[in-house]
Structure formats: structure tokens, C-alpha cells
Amino acid sequence: MIVPMKKLWLICRKADRDATLDTLAELGVVHVTPVVPPEGEAMDAARDEAATIEHALGVLPQEIPDEAPGIDHSLSADVVMHRIESYLVDRQKTESRMADLRTEIDRVEHFGDFDPQRIAALAEAGITVTLVRFDAHKRPEFPEGAQLHILSEHMGDTHAVLVSADPFEVEGAIAPPREALATLRKHLYNCHARMVHIAEHLSYMAAYRPLLEEHLAAANEQREMLSVSAGMGDTRDLVYLQGYCPADDVPAVNAESHRSGWGLVLRDPDADDHVPTLIRNPAWVRPIKAVFGMIGLLPGYREIDISAAFLLFFSVFFAMLIGDAGYGALFLVATLAARAKFRSAPAYPFHLLVILSVCTIAWGILTGTYFGITNLPAPLASLTLGWLTGDAAEANIMQLCFFIGALHLTVAHTWNALRILNSTKALAQFGWIALTWTMFFTARTMILGAEFPRFGYGLLIGGITLVALFMSKPRELKTEWANHVMLPLDVISNFVDVVSYVRLFAVGSASLAVAAAFNEMALAKGIHSIGAGLGAAFILLFGHVLNILLGAMGILVHGVRLNTLEFSGHIGMQWTGITFRPFARSTPQPTDK
């Protein structure tokens, strides 16, 4: 559920500003919004410091090499940062030097290795030596008396040296190298060695990652403190801030206000306020946070939390799109192994993967799908559901997809009706429910050839009547008349939305076909030798890994879409939420209670 918020204004003496912010950060329950734009040199410095530390952490490896020396506990975070920065500066200079050397080597390497000082010495003796490069098919004119010595040909270019008594300008002349080619290559080799040395020492600095992470947390806290302070309003001897507080945390803020002598104003947010969203759900719904976090979706404060419906239907979509009990078993084993290895990680992503894996296994058992195998052993075949595996299985699964779509959209409109049950507009939502099931029967008839039921005509007429009469109140017709004009298109769109759920069947069938094709490819000629066995194993591994990756893409494209577009569109979700971020000492993310 979305936690109700209270809008808050807090007033204190200017002299108590820092103490007030310290106390408020300790409470950690207020999402602060700036009264004035937070600016200042101190803020800029804190922001730059945090960015520098983040950059340093970004270049350090996650794991410490076995040969790394022990940690020097006497080093401060500033000293460690200085060392890392010096290595980074050295690396940047070395990379620049290597780029220059490569450019110079590429420019002159086809002229061979020679000492450029000898060219200068010959010039002093009255002999001009000029390096030239020209198109092998378009030899330029050279001065009379000059001697051309071709050194090499490369990529259609001729590299040569021109010797003459007098200096002259010639097309394709190349300046002599700064140093001999062997010397340039030695410099480049030394730069490579220097880069290895720098990388080695940066890897050793990974031992100080916890120290830097602690330093970054402190820098971020300082930056947040300065930002809140700079964003406070100022009037004579008083300063004030504004923000939002969860309604159930208001008593704690009130109690602290009495102790600290703050002025405190609390009220319900206005309709045009940009209120942050904090969601707290029961434990069984919490796993869906992993999906919301991955795709970056958050309902607006005045929208509804569809987490429970999203989890239930997403689990079904996942199972049907992957559609293979073997894959589901692999997912389950991998999830349990990962959870055993990463015990300190949040639990809800692993719980979600367990739910999805179990649902996939269940669907795969009912449809008799195990790694795309066509001939199942009798014990496994006995577990299948005939309605999903018989001669009419394809038509039945497509009908099931239409049913799931109609049910999904019915949940959306029922939810809308319950929210406005005291308004006549609720009748329009019941009309949309009737139209949704009309579209279900229409899809069965048009795509599967099933007979359209007689009561379907009543649903159609009744649904259109309810929607047309009650989608807007009489006083709203002047501003919402366009909705009535668009009603025929909306009805067609409703049909398209119901039919779109057939993608669950299409993607699941494609996954089964891909798995079966790779199985046949690997085993069609039999396994008569070790080489044939290894080849078959490689084909099976490659094919099923590819199929799993395609299935994962299908989940993102189809499984998420049906919730975030079709369902959300019918329920009126726009996902305009602002994350609730309390001003807190350690800046934790809000957790479900």
C-alpha cells in the first residue's frame, strides 16, 4: 500500500539550524524539499569530493589479489585517495604517451629502422635525404638528379627515400621520426610495463575499498546536510524547511518538536503538491519490488499500488512465456545456490525468483514440457493435463490466454469501480467489464471459430450503454465530450488489448519449438563416438542457453508490458511517482514494515 503522507513545515532559530538538522537526520523520517534552490561553494566542494571518491571506487577491482600486501591501518582515507589519484594521473599520462608513440610508429615504421640523426648529419655535409610516401600507381615527378630508393610497399602506398644534392619540396614528403624505430618501440614497451605496474598497484588498493566506502557515505551525508541547510527558508532570526512525513511517523516528529522547541505545522498535502511515494507491502507481496526496481517504475502518490496484482499475474506470465519445467528447475537451483552464496543481500529478489521458478515448473509439468523433449517417460506424461496437451491443446491455450487477458482487465476496472463506488462513474467501469468479456467471446469466435454466445449481444449493448451514459457526469460534458467521440475507438482498443494476451501462447510455443529444434539437431545422427558426443553436448548447451536468453527477453518485452501498459492503461496508472527519500544520517532506503 502507498503510505499516507503529511506535509510538514519546521521552524527553528537560526542559531539552532545545525543542531536541528542533526536531530532531524537522526529521526530519518522526513523527505525534505528545498524552499529555495540549494547553492553555495561548500555544497559544490562536497559534491566534487563525493564524485572523486565514487570515481576512485569505480576504478578499483572488487576482489583483492592473493599477492596483495597487507592493509596499512595507519593510512587515512585522504592518504589512500591521494595515492589512487596519483596512480590515475600517472595512468592518464602513460596512456597519452602510448597514443603518441603508436601514432609515430605507424607513421614511420615502413621506412625501416634508422637513426634520424644521420639524416641531419648528411644535410650538414650537403646531402639531402627526404622520406616520401606516394601512391604505388601514381608516382610523382621528382627533381632531376635526385635518386629514389624504394624501401617498402604497404596497403597500396610506396615508402621510399629520396637523395639529392639540394633541398627541395616534394609531394608526399614525410618528416623524419623523432627517434629510431627501435627506440620508439622500446619506449612503447616501457609504457606497457608501466601500465601493468599501475594496474597492479590499483588492484592492491582494493583492500582499502571498505575505508573509501565509509568515507563516501560520510561525504554524501555531508553533502545532503549542506543541501538541506542551503535549501531552508530564512526570515530574520528564524529558518524553516518543508517536506513530507509518513502519517504513522508524525507522533515521533511531534514529540521531538516539543523537546527541541521547534515550530511545527502539519497538514494534508494539496492536490498540486508533488508528494513522494513510500510503499509498504506485506511480506508475500514484497518480492515484486525487484521488478519495479529493475524497470524503474513507481506509482504516483495519488495513484494506486498494484503490487499484489502485478506479482500474481507476472508469475503466471513468466511461467507461460518460459513454459519449460526443466528451465524452471534450473532457475530454482541457481536461485538457491546464489542465495546461499550471497546471504547478506536483500532477500526479496531471491524470493521472487523462487516464486517464478516454481510457477514455471508447475506450468511445464501440466503441459509436459522438459527441455523441449517430445517423448516423455510415462511417469512424467501421467502428470500432464489433457486439456493442455491433447489435439486441441493449441486452441485451448489460446483461449486460456484470452481468458487471462479478460480477467486481468476485469481486475483493473473492478478496482476502479471500488475506488469510486459512491459515484455514478462506477457504473461506467462495470460497463467496461461487460465490454471486456464481450471482446473475450469475440476473440474466441474470430480466431478460434467458437460460437458467439447469445448473451454476448446483451453484454455488448449493456456495456456500451453504461459507458456512454456514465463515463462523464452531466456537468463534465463540456470538457470531456471528446471522450464520448472516441468511444468507438476505445471499444476497438479494448478488443485489441484482450487479443494481445495471445502473445503468451506465441512466445511460449516459439520457445518450445527452438528447444525441440536444437534437440533434434544435436541427436538426429546419433552419438557413435566421443567427438559426436562432445558436439551434441555443445549444440544442446548452446541451444538451450540461447533459448533461455530469448525467454528472458520475452519476459521483459511481453510479461512486463502486459502489466505496465495493458493493465495499467485500463486502471489509469501513469507511474508518476517520486521516491520517498528521508533525510537521514546514513541515508538508508525506506524498508517495508
Domains and CATH numbers, the chain: 1-33+231-276+578-587 (3.30.70.240), 38-101+184-228 (no CATH), 114-179 (no CATH), 286-571 (no CATH)
pLDDT at position 592 over 70:
no
Other beta carbons less than 10 A from residue 30's beta carbon: 24
Closest CA to 315 of 592, 550, 555, 564: 555
Tens digits of residue pLDDT in 237-259: 899 999 999 999 999 999 999 99
What does R_g of the chain's alpha carbons equal in angstroms?
Answer: 36
pLDDT of residue 587: 47
DSSP string, 492-550: HHHHHHHHGGGHHHHHHHHHHHHHHHHHHHHHTT---SHHHHHHHHHHHHHHHHHHHHH
pLDDT at position 42 over 80:
yes
pLDDT at position 225 over 50:
yes
Lowest average pLDDT, out of 46-50, 69-73, 255-259, 588-592, goes to 588-592
The pLDDT mean for the chain works out to 90
Are the beta carbons of 133 and 157 closer than 8 angstroms?
A: yes
pLDDT at position 590 over 80:
no
Of the segments 45-49, 70-74, 584-588, which one has the largest average pLDDT value? 45-49
pLDDT of residue 59: 86
Mean of the pLDDT values across residues 150-172? Answer: 86
pLDDT of residue 479: 80
Of 376 and 362, more confident: 362
DSSP string, 195-226: HHHHHHHHHHGGGGHHHHHHHHHHHHHHHHHH
Run of H or E residues at 384? none
Are the beta carbons of 285 and 555 closer than 8 angstroms?
A: no
Provide the pairing of β-strand 157-164 with 233-235: unpaired
CA distances (Å), 185 to each of 108, 168, 193, 199, in order? 12, 31, 12, 21
Lowest average pLDDT, out of 6-15, 330-339, 482-491, goes to 482-491
Residue 367: is it exposed, middle or buried by C-beta count within 10 angstroms (0-12/13-18/19+)?
Answer: buried
Tens digits of residue pLDDT in 328-341: 999 999 999 999 99
**How far apart are alpha carbons 374 and 371 in whole angstroms?**
9
pLDDT of residue 542: 92
pLDDT of residue 17: 92
pLDDT of residue 589: 46
Are the beta carbons of 227 and 241 closer than 8 angstroms?
A: no
Tens digits of residue pLDDT in 518-576: 988 888 777 778 888 888 899 999 999 999 999 999 998 899 999 999 999 999 998 98
Mapping DSSP to helix (H, G, I), strand (E, B) and coil, where does residue 391 land?
coil
Backbone φ, ψ for residue 174 (5° rounding): -120, 130
Other beta carbons less than 10 A from residue 436's beta carbon: 24
Tens digits of residue pLDDT in 87-131: 999 999 999 999 999 999 999 999 999 888 988 898 888 888 889
pLDDT of residue 55: 87
pLDDT of residue 588: 47
Tens digits of residue pLDDT in 267-300: 999 999 999 999 999 999 999 999 998 888 899 9
pLDDT at position 320 over 90:
yes
Confidence of residue 478 (pLDDT cuts 50, 70, 90): confident
Tens digits of residue pLDDT in 363-418: 999 999 999 887 888 889 899 998 998 889 999 999 999 999 999 999 999 999 99
For the chain, give the number of residues.
593
